[in-house]
Amino acid sequence: MAGDVLVLGSANMDLVVRSSRIPQPGETLLGGTFSTHPGGKGANQATALGRLGSPVRFLGRVGADDFGRELIDQLASSGVDVSTALTDHALASGIAMIVVAADGQNSIVVAPGANGAVSPAQVLATLEERMPKVALAQLEVPLDAIEAMAEALSPETVFILNPAPAAPLSDSLLSRVDILTPNETEAEALTGILPIDDETCRAAALRLLGRDVKAVVITLGGRGCWLQDAEGGHLIPAFRVNPVDTTAAGDAFNGGLAWRVFLGDSLAEACRWASAVGALATTREGAQEAMPTREEVEAFLTQ
């Protein structure tokens, strides 16, 4: 398809054990139930786009194992084109080992596995095959692959970078970013300013615009998001919902944003839709399972 959304990022299987508490070093605890959930920021955001009905390709890497097959099947069943996802025969699929305690605290260890082998060569081969209209990336795959994408994108492609988890970014990468979408913690890590009110949101966003990013959207959880571009900055309040699980709200938001930018919305309008997608995702348990469909978002916005 001429022009689509290309999501460069990670796919992980989340392995979740419920436990009365987090074990001490050296301690073995008898835990509760065990469950597996497809995750990874890249796969979550691609799933959000697929469920919203956007044309979307997933550019990533999994291992030649059961988790890898399940991760790819899950993406495909959400309507994601997985022809640009590679199977790595040397590395295992990425996993996140998660212990959730009765009081809601968790401890997480991620083994990136095949995600760590996403390479500039894989990115360049995908872009050569077909240039996307919108490209969306996060920071759970190697930075050199993201930098290669930034350099090779056509000037017409809108590049959205969700700088999660927080990491230092070069000026050359930031100068190719059309829309940067940090949450509060990531905005603080990038600018040294924690965005707690209008004044600090504006200051953090302006610092990023000063590094040649074209527009910044700082997501602020239940408070909403702060949009800043060349025309100025303002808060877009969150929709009021009863959240049951805020996991992957940011992934839902980024997927929703990329979808509406793909459809040609103004950035303010795209943020409104993205906020609705993020809000709806908090009303359900899980990550990929919680992503709303286009019909659900439309019904929510007209109610």
Q: Which one, 213 or 287, has the nearer CB to ligand ADP?
A: 287
d(Cα 191, Cα 75) in Å, to the nearest integer?
A: 34
* Amino acid of residue 215: A
Match 């439309």 to its residue by tokens: 298
Residue with the shortest CB distance to ligand ADP: 250
The least CB distance from residue 183 to ligand ADP, in Å, is 4
Interface with ligand ADP includes 201 (CB under 6 A)?
no
Which region among 32-40, 46-54, 171-179, 248-256 touches ligand ADP (by CB under 6 A)? 248-256
- By the rule CB under 6 A, 279 interacts with ligand ADP: yes
Beta carbons within 10 angstroms of residue 170's beta carbon: 11
Question: What is the Cα–Cα distance from 264 to 258, expressed in whole angstroms?
Answer: 10
Among 7-15, 53-61, 200-208, 214-222, which window interacts with ligand ADP (CB under 6 A)? Answer: 214-222
- Write down the least CB distance from residue 126 to ligand ADP, Å: 25
- Considering only residues 218-247, where is the footprint of ligand ADP by CB under 6 A? 219-222, 224-225, 238-239, 241, 243, 246
| Pairwise CA distance, residues 213 & 208, whole Å | 6
Annotated catalytic sites, by residue? 251
Counts of helices then strands in the chain (DSSP H, E): 10, 14
Instruction: Tell me whether residue 5 or residue 227 sits nearer to ligand ADP (CB atom).
Output: 227
List binders of ligand ADP among 152-191 (CB under 6 A): 164, 183
Enumerate the H helices of the chain as residue ranges. 41-51, 66-77, 120-129, 143-152, 171-174, 184-191, 198-209, 249-262, 267-282, 294-302
Q: Compute the distance between CA of residue 82 and CA of residue 101 in angstroms, rounded to an integer.
A: 35
Decide if residue 44 touches ligand ADP (CB under 6 A).
no
Footprint of ligand ADP on this chain (CB under 6 A)?
164, 183, 219-222, 224-225, 238-239, 241, 243, 246, 249-250, 253, 275, 278-279, 282
